[in-house]
A and B are shown apart, each in its own frame.
Chain A
Amino acid sequence: MIKKSVLNASWDGKFAEEILEDPQAPKGLLKCNQCGTCTANCPAARFTSYNPARLVRDVLAGAREKVLSSADIWQCFYCYTCHANCPRGNSPTELVRILRLKALAQGHAKEEVARFLAFGECFAEFGIGGMPSDIVESHANEFGHRWVKMRLHIDDLREVLGLQAMGLPENAQKQLKSLLHHTGFMERLQRLSSDSEICQSRGMR
């Protein structure tokens, strides 16, 4: 039987060009010759169906919808092993970052970031990122009493170690928050949080 090729899916001949318009796009994207060095060294490819060489091929083939709706782009570890070893100056991991943001902008996969929005909110309030309460709770279960006690007394511990208090002086914090308004980050948080569901955690209690 003849197998369905990726090109049978709806395709967009301008997809790679559109990605290259992003200044963050890897310079060697179009130079990929499918040598497979990225996949051979990729920890996600070792354990999941994610395959960076195939992802690059799909992008170059214009398989926009397939790529943007794919669960595989969310399996990358951002470990940059592909990036460090690509002989053509391509970077599948930086491509993944662009694809994930594109997917989010088109309303795909909001649930993939929903639980991490708290990091951004905490950053804007205190100048230091924080974990959402469901993750803290799960850490408390996993890491146990010793960790919970440590986190409860972190300010005292820091004092014992002769370290500055965490958190920014009031004026610096105001400036930082204002900066995040100007970059559109506060609006972005709003946009990402609207009608998103809580991450359906895979393999997590």
Chain B
Amino acid sequence: MKDVPTSGLYLFKSCLVSTEYPGVESSLRFIFDRLGIDYISDPRQSCCSGLGYYFDVFDHLSTVAVAARNLGLAEELGYRNIVTLCATCYAINKNSLHSLHENPELASQVSGILDKIGLSYPDKMDKNNIFHEVDILAALKNKIASMVEIDFSGLRIASHHACHYTKVFREDALTDPNRPYLIDSIAKSTGAVPVEYAEKTMTCGAGFRQRHCNKDLSLSLTLEKLRSLKTAGTEVLLHMCPNCQIQFDRYQPVIERLTGEQFGIYHLQIPQLIALSMGADPYTVVGIQTHSVPIEPLLKRFGIKVKA
């Protein structure tokens, strides 16, 4: 089992969280602030380039160099434990460090490039310095349980464990990609009740280019998952990656229109559920106003004040 740090955290901003579900980042910050976790946000950090990498636009060297620049900035600040809010940011940073360590030629090329533009190479970083928010939240779950203000007892939640966390570096994930339970175990600290469903391990359907170039294929997968979630009686699907969250929250209404089937499942990223249970404001912290599936009916049920 890997050591999970709860200080010196470099909160690694995600392009899709920033532009689609910014409430995920503010929820995580809320939780960290409440628990007294030492973290930093760096305006100089660029997006990881992962979407571009998996759109096949970014070459390997460019993506690794982008990662090395960001990781160099983190190292220089002394905040060496990278915490991502997106599974692809996690895999891209980890894979880049892996490449730099395995391939001395690549390392000296990247180090040369950073040198030319006046930046430092992340000498002390290795792939074990890269974490996902779920690693940290899992380590904090007992503390979280003791700070719950809104008890979600009886709420039937299911989890969608992002592929780029469970499957790219299987040995470093805190859960089995074929029987994932990490998000569920964190959510239980709020009283919520995990349910299992048949298609739990299947990818969300985004598939990077597939969402845009093979829409029927992409949505066919999502539909299979939604049907399986509905059969299991899921009320909330919990996510750990904004790309998966888009695929479900934004496309569930689209799929409902296309098929005439109703799913009515709420979608939250795990820090959003935790923040809500710790008393965070739905609009100024959790950012539910950016969601496509309105969260208000769920919150009303648990006595949380919402706008009409």
Q: Mark A65-100, 1 if CB is under 8 A from B, else 0.
A: 000000000111111110111000000000001001
In the complex with contacts A74-B209, A112-B56, A116-B57, A169-B49 CB distance below 8 A: no
| Interface class of chain A by DSSP | helix
Is A199 touching B213 in the complex (CB atoms < 8 A)?
yes
Residue pair B221, A43 in contact (C-beta under 8 Å)? yes
Residues 17-38 of B at the A interface (beta carbon under 8 Å): 18-19, 22-23, 25-26, 29
Bound-state Cα–Cα, A115 to B81, Å: 35
CB–CB A128/B15 < 8 A: yes
Question: Once bound together, how far apart are the Cα atoms of A183 and B114, in whole Å?
Answer: 10
Q: Categorize the interface residue count of chain B.
A: 35 or more
State which of B26, B69, B285 has its C-beta within 8 Å of the C-beta of A175.
B69
Chain B residues within 8 Å of A48, by CB: 217
Q: Is the interface of B mostly helix, strand, loop or mixed?
A: helix
Among the stretches B2-10, B121-129, B144-152, B287-295, the one at the interface with A is B287-295
CB distance from A6 to the nearest CB of B (A): 25
Chain A residues with CB under 8 A of B290: 150, 157
Chain A residues proximal to chain B, CB less than 8 Å: 23-24, 43-44, 47-48, 74-81, 83-85, 97, 100-101, 104, 112-113, 115-117, 119-120, 123, 127-129, 135, 139, 142-144, 146-147, 150-151, 154, 157-158, 160-166, 168-169, 172, 175-176, 178-180, 182-185, 188-189, 192, 199, 201-204
5 additional A-B residue pairs with CB within 8 Å, beyond A143-B253, A188-B62 = A43-B205, A120-B52, A128-B18, A129-B52, A175-B118
Q: Which 6 A-B pairs have the closest CB atoms?
A: A77-B207, A79-B203, A203-B216, A116-B55, A84-B167, A80-B167
